[in-house]
Amino acid sequence: MTNSSTPELVASCWTSAGDTAPLRVPETSPVPIGERMEALAATGWAGFGLAHDDLLQIRDTIGFAGLREIIDQAGLRYIEVEFLSNWWDESKATEWRPQFDLLLDAAETLGARFIKVGTAFGAELDDYTPLALPLRHLTEEATARGTRIALEPIAFSMAQSIPTSADLMRTVDHPNCGLVVDYWHIFRYGTTLDELAEKLTADQIFAVELNDADKEVRGTLFEDTRDHRRLCGHGDQNVVGFINTLRNLGYSGPWGVEILSNEHRALPVRQALEVAYSTAMECFDAAVKHTTPVGRT
């Protein structure tokens, strides 16, 4: 894909999940999986993501092979599965190991591009290096099952910084271990686009997630992240600059769109997907022209 070609967009798991949210118990989408796939295909998406609780329900109902048939019929090309934490702590293996096994099974059958992992919420580590060896072991196991591992730095977790996580990838030194570069966590952490361009390389980028936000955090950072994301180009962040920064680095893969907000999950799923898609595409149109996106304040 060149800079001027039509981008392929992937609806990250929450974008198509309807009225559910991170840390709800369970996190399962109320939208039937067949309806979800039909809505994704009808609104122009090239792929989608699914979270652990949805995958667990699918495994125990239609099975991953049944879902793969639906995906193929819908013509969706990119599949992402998530989310694993605590993988660095063997004392918690009884908790995370079954989750990882489920994600491995799903990734293998569905042909997922990667398994998304993260770190525990809380203070940032002074040194990310202790994560390198367990991350490499996780990647070796994923590789044996035909998939990859993508670490998502989160602005309120142990690994918060994309630039520092890019250094961590160099320490891990495995071609099947890379990063999820979520614009939300870049601007909420305070990383500049120049800092991103200085540290990040295209081969490290396994996924990108686009979104927008108001200038100021609303509530806690977690509440802001879960409830107040804005559609691309409809907040105060430089979405166009971010897109062009990654393109200038040489990134040419599909682009995820991750919208999490009270307003978004209240919409019917097809309408939510339509507006998430169209506003993201407005930003790509603006990025080609190097102009400010429509609707940006």
pLDDT digits (tens, 9 = 90+) for 192-221: 999 999 999 999 999 999 999 999 999 999
Decide if 208 contacts 232 (C-beta within 8 A): no
Please report whether residue 23 resides in a domain: yes
Please report whether residue 46 resides in a domain: yes
**Average pLDDT, stretch 15-39?**
95
Q: Which has the closest alpha carbon to 212: 294, 118, 114? A: 294
- Asked whether residue 158 carries a pLDDT value surpassing 50, the answer given is yes
Please report whether residue 4 resides in a domain: no
Q: What CA–CA distance (Å, rounded) separates 10 from 16?
A: 10
**Average pLDDT, stretch 108-134?**
97
Confidence of residue 5 (pLDDT cuts 50, 70, 90): confident
Please report whether residue 285 resides in a domain: yes
Confidence of residue 254 (pLDDT cuts 50, 70, 90): very high
Encoded amino acid at 72, one letter? D
- Going by the DSSP 8-state scheme, the letter that residue 274 receives in this structure is H
Please report whether residue 251 resides in a domain: yes
Q: What is the pLDDT of residue 288?
A: 83
**Average pLDDT, stretch 66-70?**
97
Please report whether residue 215 resides in a domain: yes
- Asked whether residue 4 carries a pLDDT value surpassing 50, the answer given is no
- Asked whether residue 1 carries a pLDDT value surpassing 60, the answer given is no
pLDDT digits (tens, 9 = 90+) for 160-171: 999 999 999 999
Question: Which residue do the tokens 């793969």 mark?
Answer: 68
Encoded amino acid at 275, one letter? V
Q: What CA–CA distance (Å, rounded) separates 41 from 136?
A: 35
What CATH number did the domain enclosing 216 receive? 3.20.20.150
Please report whether residue 295 resides in a domain: no
Q: Which has the closest alpha carbon to 191: 229, 238, 226, 228? A: 238
- Asked whether residue 295 carries a pLDDT value surpassing 60, the answer given is no
Give the pTM.
0.94
Q: What is the pLDDT of residue 290?
A: 64
143's tokens: 């590789």
Encoded amino acid at 252, one letter? S
- Going by the DSSP 8-state scheme, the letter that residue 157 receives in this structure is B
Q: Mean pLDDT in the chain?
A: 95
Decide if 18 contacts 31 (C-beta within 8 A): yes
Q: What is the pLDDT of residue 293?
A: 43
**Average pLDDT, stretch 13-29?**
95
Decide if 141 contacts 104 (C-beta within 8 A): yes
The boundaries of the domain holding residue 141 are 9-289
Please report whether residue 173 resides in a domain: yes
Number of structural domains (the chain) is: 1
pLDDT digits (tens, 9 = 90+) for 90-108: 999 999 999 999 999 999 9
Question: Which residue do the tokens 């062009």 mark?
Answer: 244
**Average pLDDT, stretch 273-295?**
82
